[in-house]
């Protein structure tokens, strides 16, 4: 079978045009992919442009150079890794440790079973656990016995005093009414004389 030179020339031209179009599309797609991949791996805009420029100029060798020099992880992967580390550190920090021996303890323990260090104290009113430094129960608002109440008013102090009945009232079973301060002051004041009445003339 003898090939027509004109047909062969047309076939070669068509194949060359197809190969050139394929290489151009591949070149453009690799440049775009390189820029997107660099944008996902770094926040530096100059590094993104340089990566795309290397692939655009060198083509496949430039793509190989970019694969060697690009960051190993994307920004999303670094962010997820940072969240995992923070969660792990938060878990470690939330685990209570004994101040005496440094071993792990339970949040509801009164004392450490290893070194016998006192960890909590119960409220004398509601029996809920409190920290040793607390002077007021957060559950029932009861102050710790022996705590100095600096902001106690005079009325509260008088109301908290115990009341004792007089001996006579205990014997008779009746309380004598005590005069008020106003009655005492009135009793001390002398009575003013009455003005003389005028006789009818």
Q: Where are the beta strands (DSSP E) in the chain?
A: 120-122, 129-131
Residue 201: the pLDDT is 38
Q: Which residues pair with 122 in a beta bridge?
A: 129
Q: Please check whether residue 73 is in contact with residue 81, taking contact to mean a CB–CB distance below 8 angstroms.
A: yes
Domain range summary for the chain, segments of one domain joined by +: 8-77, 95-144
DSSP structure string for 64-115? HHHHHHS-SS-HHHHHHHHHHHHHHHHHHHHS-B-TTT--B--TT-SB-TTT
Residue 199: the pLDDT is 47
pLDDT tens per residue, range 43-66 = 999 999 999 999 999 999 999 999
pTM: 0.47
Residue 158: the pLDDT is 54
Q: Which residues pair with 129 in a beta bridge?
A: 122
136 pLDDT higher than 70: yes
Query: Which of the four pLDDT bands, split at 50, 70 and 90, describes residue 5?
Result: confident
């Amino acid at each position: 079978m003898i090939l027509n030179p004109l047909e062969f020339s047309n076939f070669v031209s068509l194949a060359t045009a197809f190969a050139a179009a394929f290489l151009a599309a591949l070149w453009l797609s690799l440049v775009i992919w390189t820029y997107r991949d660099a944008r996902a791996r770094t926040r530096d805009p100059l590094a993104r442009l340089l990566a795309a420029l290397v692939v655009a100029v060198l083509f496949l060798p430039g793509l190989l150079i970019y694969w060697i020099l690009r960051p190993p992880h994307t920004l999303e992967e670094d962010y997820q890794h940072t969240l995992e580390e923070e969660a792990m550190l938060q878990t470690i920090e939330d685990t209570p440790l004994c101040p005496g021996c440094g071993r792990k303890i339970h949040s509801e323990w009164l004392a450490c079973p290893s070194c016998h260090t006192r960890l909590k104290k119960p409220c004398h009113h509601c029996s809920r656990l409190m920290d040793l430094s607390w002077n007021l129960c957060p559950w029932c608002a009861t102050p710790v016995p022996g705590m100095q109440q600096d902001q106690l008013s005079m009325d509260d102090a008088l109301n908290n005093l115990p009341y004792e009945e007089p001996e006579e009232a205990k014997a008779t079973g009746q309380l004598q009414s005590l005069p008020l301060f106003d009655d005492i002051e009135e009793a001390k004041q002398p009575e003013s004389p009455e003005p003389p009445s005028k006789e009818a003339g």
